[in-house]
C-alpha cells in the first residue's frame, strides 16, 4: 500500500499536501482508488466556491460505486485539475500525482490535526 510520509490524510480517504504558496492540494488516496476500482467520472467543485471543513465537495464514480470527496479544511477553492475530469483513469494510475482541487485555507484553518501516514495506515488497517 502506497502511503507517502510527506502528506496528511483524512479518515474519509483524502490526501492533503501543503504547498509553498499556502494553499493545500487535495486528492484521493491510493487505498480509496483501489477500493473504488476503475474510475469513470469525476465531478470537481467550482473555483471560487467556499467550503466548510468536512463538506462534501466533489464526487468520484467508478464502475462499482460513487463516493463523495470531502474538504479537509475550510477555505476557498482556487484551482481544479481539469485533466482528471477528462481522464478519470489518471487517478487509478497515480493517485498521488492526479490531484483533484486546491484550497486556500480560511483564517485559522490548518491541516496539522489531520492524520499522518502512520495514523492513516492504522485507520485503514482497523477498517
Residue 15: CATH number of its domain: 2.40.50.100
The whole-number pLDDT of residue 8 equals 97
Question: Would residue 30 count as lying in a domain?
Answer: yes
How far apart CA 82 and CA 65 sit, in angstroms, is 21
pTM of the model: 0.95
Question: Would residue 3 count as lying in a domain?
Answer: no
- In this predicted structure, the answer to whether residue 1 has a pLDDT above a threshold of 80 is no
CB-based contacts of 108, cutoff 8 Å, min separation 6:
none
Over the stretch 34-64, which tens digit does the pLDDT of each residue have? 999 999 999 999 999 999 999 999 999 999 8
Domain hosting residue 93, numbered range: 8-108
Q: How many folded domains does the chain comprise?
A: 1
Over the stretch 70-86, which tens digit does the pLDDT of each residue have? 999 999 999 999 999 99
Over the stretch 86-116, which tens digit does the pLDDT of each residue have? 999 999 999 999 999 999 999 988 899 999 9
Question: Would residue 118 count as lying in a domain?
Answer: no
Amino acid at each position: 500500500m502506497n502511503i507517502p510520509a510527506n502528506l496528511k490524510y483524512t479518515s474519509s480517504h483524502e490526501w492533503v499536501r501543503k504547498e509553498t504558496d499556502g494553499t493545500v492540494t487535495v486528492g484521493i488516496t491510493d487505498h480509496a482508488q483501489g477500493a473504488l476500482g476503475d474510475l469513470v467520472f469525476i465531478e470537481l467543485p467550482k473555483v471560487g466556491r467556499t467550503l466548510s471543513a468536512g463538506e462534501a465537495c466533489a464526487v468520484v464514480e467508478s464502475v462499482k460505486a460513487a463516493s463523495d470527496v470531502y474538504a479537509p479544511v475550510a477555505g476557498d477553492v482556487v484551482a481544479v485539475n481539469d485533466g482528471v475530469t477528462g481522464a478519470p483513469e489518471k487517478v487509478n494510475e497515480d493517485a498521488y500525482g492526479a490531484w483533484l482541487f486546491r484550497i486556500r485555507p480560511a483564517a485559522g484553518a490548518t491541516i496539522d490535526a489531520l492524520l499522518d501516514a502512520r495514523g492513516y495506515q492504522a485507520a485503514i488497517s482497523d477498517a
